[in-house]
Amino acid sequence: MSEFHTRSNIPVKEFYSEKDLPKNELGNPGEFPFTRGVQKNMYRGRLWTMRQYAGFGSAVESNKRYKYLLAKGTMGLSVAFDLPTQLGYDPDHVRSKGEVGKVGVSISTLDDMRVLFDGIDQSKISTSMTINATAVILLAFYAAVAKERGVDFKDLRGTVQNDVLKEYIARGNFIYPPTGALRIITDMFAWCSENTPKWNPISISGYHIREAGSDAVQELAFTFGNAMTYVQSAIDKGLNVDEFAGQLSFFFNVHSDFFEEIAKFRAARRIWAKIMKEKFKSNDPRSQMLRFHSQTAGSTLTAQQPENNIVRVAIQALSSVLGGTQSLHTNSMDEALALPTESSASLALRTQQIIAFETQVTQTVDPLGGSYFIENLTSDIEARVWKYFDEIEKRGGMIHSIENGYIQSEILNSAYQDQKAMDKGDLKVVGVNCFSENSGSVKPELMKIDPKLEKQAIQKISEYKKKRDSNKTQEALKKLVLGARGSDNLQALILECAYADATLGEISDALRTVFGQYQQHSGF
């Protein structure tokens, strides 16, 4: 390792010249291999979608925040769900105790979804839902509410994260074993390709892999490893790659190593284009385009001197824009301490707007393209990602590498090296291990969740069950169980359960009876 290196330990030379340029794979924007961007004119034609991730407490409170953000100029909504919703439990379940509405909004019924999007036109807004194990249920609720309001499914725009493999790797919010999870995901692919052509049925996430401690190279390698597994699963089920691949999207992290992050995004587009064209033989250029949402790195936010986070987020956001993102969420300065307040969320959005409208960086496509350093770094990252692919293949593929703990151990080792470097002071964090005096540091006002919310949510779901036609609900759930044991499309059956007023917990339990519940093996 050289004295100077990126956060991923890629050596950095004192300077770069023409002789350092790799073989020309630069190409033109909007053309294979899309190194310079997926659209010919990129932000000259349309800016990235400015999202703010929000959701807390009840659907009523979250709806107010969404309307506030829309009034401030956000272009798309991004929904955060609480842990019980993510894990398939209703508020009245014993495992939900103490967690209802704490880290996101609690959504368990069609009524909850109606309230969440009250007064918001689903045909005109793009909605991203950060939900995985229960994504199929939340999409069903969202679609059912849209249908009630006369919105055609074909007009729905947005994304469900729906990336369960990364839950086994990095977050732990899974329900079913991989086989059952992949069945659900591929059924959603098939349903969406026929019914919601503008909706992305998955956002394959490197964000949480990075938050767990991976470096930039591992973030790409493990994310694309998961992506290839999903694509192969869909093909094995009989889907043509070009029928669904154009609806795949990705979600990446943006850290503070400015040039490495820009190069990472450029390398990512090139890698994905080659995977789709060479491995999966796609013929449609739309299948080869890597479209991604990005979010500034939560793990870089500090509780110490929290106002420093404003600067961190601005730098990270700028690197994402220079890297060619299609959608961006900027974290709020107070998120290391609590859920963001309205004022801090507004400031985070203003950060994007300043980049978009004041810096003029959107005037030309890929403004750093051709830089000796950027091109060299882009190719170096790509080469290291392909080496990981080879290693994963030798170990029996992605699922086997997850089940035996190889992927997790690689991330753990990376996180350990980072922490050691911070402890020694080699990796500097301003306000934490250097310049840590607290003079002038502002103590921000913090967001708090009303403790009465959980009791109210339990009462609401009790009333919901009393007013519905229980026979109709049970019949729909029985059909779901039979369909899961057979080969019926589960997304369609879950939509019928939504129409029959089944709750999120009841639908999840029905699928648990067929697929079981995954027990994690660490591999260490």
Diameter of the chain measured on Cα atoms = 74
Q: What is the pLDDT of residue 74?
A: 85
DSSP string of 304-348, one letter each residue: SSTTHHHHHHHHHHHHHHHHT-SEEE---TTTTTSSPPHHHHHHH
d(CA 129, CA 135): 8
End-to-end distance of the chain based on CA atoms, in angstroms? 27
Domain segments of the chain: what residues? 18-424, 468-515
Q: Three-class SS of residue 394?
A: helix
d(CA 468, CA 67): 30
d(CA 32, CA 16): 26
Six-digit token string for 392: 């994963």
d(CA 46, CA 207): 24
The strand pairing partners of 295, in sequence order, are 253, 329
From the list 303, 389, 289, the residue with the least C-alpha distance to 31 is 289
Q: What is the pLDDT of residue 448?
A: 72
Residue 431, number of CB atoms within 10 A of its CB: 18
Q: Is 90 left (phi over 0), alpha (psi -120 to 50) or beta?
A: beta
Six-digit token string for 482: 């039979």
Domain 18-424 has CATH 3.20.20.240: yes
Number of H helices, E strands in the chain: 20, 9
The pairing of strands 76-80 and 49-54 is: parallel
Q: What is the pLDDT of residue 1?
A: 41
Q: Residue 136 half-sphere exposure, CB side, CA atoms within 13 Å? A: 31
d(CA 75, CA 257): 27
Instruction: Provide block-wise average pLDDT over 10 residues at a time, the chain (524 residues).
Output: 83 94 85 96 95 83 91 88 96 95 93 97 93 97 98 96 93 92 95 95 95 97 97 94 94 97 98 97 97 96 95 98 96 90 92 98 96 96 98 96 94 95 94 80 70 90 96 98 97 98 98 92 50
Q: What is the pLDDT of residue 438?
A: 64
Residue 384, number of CB atoms within 10 A of its CB: 19
Q: What is the pLDDT of residue 446?
A: 74
Q: What is the pLDDT of residue 245?
A: 95
Q: Residue 63 half-sphere exposure, CB side, CA atoms within 13 Å? A: 14
Angle (CA) 207-388-370 rounded to 5° is: 75
Tokens 């059924």, residue located: 187
- What lies within 8 Å, CB to CB, of 347 at 6+ separation is 310, 332, 333
